[in-house]
Amino acid sequence: MTAAPLLDIANLSVQFTGRQGPVTVLEDISFTMGHEIIGIVGESGSGKSTLARAVLNVLPRQAEVKSSRLAFDGIDLPALSQRARDGLLGRRMTMILQDPRYSLNPVISVGEQVAESLVHVKGLPLHEARERTLTALASVKLRDPGAVYHRYPHEISGGMGQRVMIAMMTVLGPELLFADEPTSALDESTKGAVLQTLRDLAAERSIGLVIISHDLDLVSAFCDRIIVMNEGRIVEDCGAADLPRSRNVYTKTLLSASLTLSLSEVDR
Ligand SMILES: Nc1ncnc2c1ncn2[C@@H]1O[C@H](COP(=O)(O)OP(=O)(O)OP(=O)(O)O)[C@@H](O)[C@H]1O
Ligand SMILES: [Mg+2]
């Protein structure tokens, strides 16, 4: 018997019902993934975050989610109770959000926040959770984890904050991790280093990682496979190395857009 894919999605659609009636924001999404590193790219509004939230089951109530298959490690997700699905969240599948300033509690030191999540989710005694937190802070290449532990979110840079978030989400041992625009709040020089850390950690621990981004160039340098979305549909699913040879008109537009951008950067 072959092992079930980590994530298996077939014909997933999402509709939001608002005052103007239903709006379809995801349509006929199908793909499977294993313990690999995938980039999902597309313009704003193409449905990237909605796709991650549909898998994690954290969409608002007015969203209607349909699929012919939505399975995680062979588990039929829609068949689970709300409680069982909530139980997967944070433990086996999770998400890193865009801006650590909004994801971290401003009045608790960053180390305590990581330790508390370990106590809460894994039921570890606090002294053990603190030890594990120091190791986790070191694993995301934060220098002097002992000092970082006691800092408050406003006392660290955006790049350090995002490393803390990565430590917090990976220390719980997830198998599937969505990183939704994990570097868009960071400056150019920090983006690559944070993505490299995320990539290395995912590869080392065999985590299936999905990096969501607008930036095709950036993401294709860190992912093995790229899924391009446009208006709620997948228009391309290929190896990152095959992107330059894509025949898809939309992918080519995205590629030439990033080329134009990098040329204009040379001009400056
Ligand atoms: N709660 C909601 N109610 C109604 N429509 C929504 C809701 N959330 C998202 N949408 C719509 O769904 C579409 C896809 O949104 P989504 O946030 O998934 O796009 P995205 O690709 O992540 O964009 P961005 O790159 O800007 O983050 C958009 O048209 C958005 O307006
Ligand atoms: Mg989004």
Rounded average pLDDT over 40-63: 95
CA of 231 to the centre of ligand 2 (A): 13
- CB of 44 closer than 6 angstroms to any ligand 1 atom: yes
Per residue, the 3-state secondary structure of the chain, as one string, reads: CCCCCCEEEEEEEEEEEECCEEEEEEEEEEEEECCCEEEEECCCCCCHHHHHHHHHCCCCCCEEEECCEEEECCEEHHHCCHHHHHHHECCCEEEECCCHHHHCCCCCCHHHHHHHHHHHHHCCCHHHHHHHHHHHHHHCCCCCHHHHHCCCHHHCCHHHHHHHHHHHHHCCCCCEEEEECCCCCCCHHHHHHHHHHHHHHHHHHCCEEEEEECCHHHHHCCCCEEEEEECCEEEEEEEHHHHHHCCCHHHHHHHHHHHHHHHHHHHC
Question: Which ligand does the CA of 53 lie closest to?
Answer: 1
CA of 95 to the centre of ligand 2 (A): 12
Q: Which two tokens stand for residue 142?
A: 């934060």
- What pLDDT sits at residue 1? 54
The residue count of the chain comes to 268
For atom 7 of ligand 1, the residue with the nearest CA is 16
Q: Residue 188 contacts by C-beta under 8 Å, 6 or more apart in sequence?
A: none
- CB of 230 closer than 6 angstroms to any ligand 1 atom: no
- CB of 50 closer than 6 angstroms to any ligand 1 atom: yes
- Enter the pTM of the model: 0.92
Rg of the chain over Cα atoms, rounded to whole angstroms, equals 19
CA of 143 to the centre of ligand 2 (A): 31
- CB of 16 closer than 6 angstroms to any ligand 1 atom: yes
pLDDT tens for each residue of 147-165:
999 999 999 999 999 999 9
CA of 180 to the centre of ligand 1 (A): 13
- What pLDDT sits at residue 244? 87
- What pLDDT sits at residue 204? 94
Question: Which ligand does the CA of 64 lie closest to?
Answer: 1
CA of 102 to the centre of ligand 1 (A): 19
Rounded average pLDDT over 192-198: 92
- CB of 174 closer than 6 angstroms to any ligand 1 atom: no
What residue ranges define each of the domains in the chain, with the CATH number in brackets? 7-267 (3.40.50.300)
pLDDT tens for each residue of 210-266:
999 988 888 999 999 999 999 999 999 999 999 988 999 998 888 877 655 554 544
pLDDT tens for each residue of 96-131:
988 877 789 999 999 999 999 999 999 999 999 999
- What pLDDT sits at residue 60? 94
CA of 42 to the centre of ligand 2 (A): 9
Say how many Å lie between the first and final Cα of the chain, rounded.
57
For atom 9 of ligand 1, the residue with the nearest CA is 50
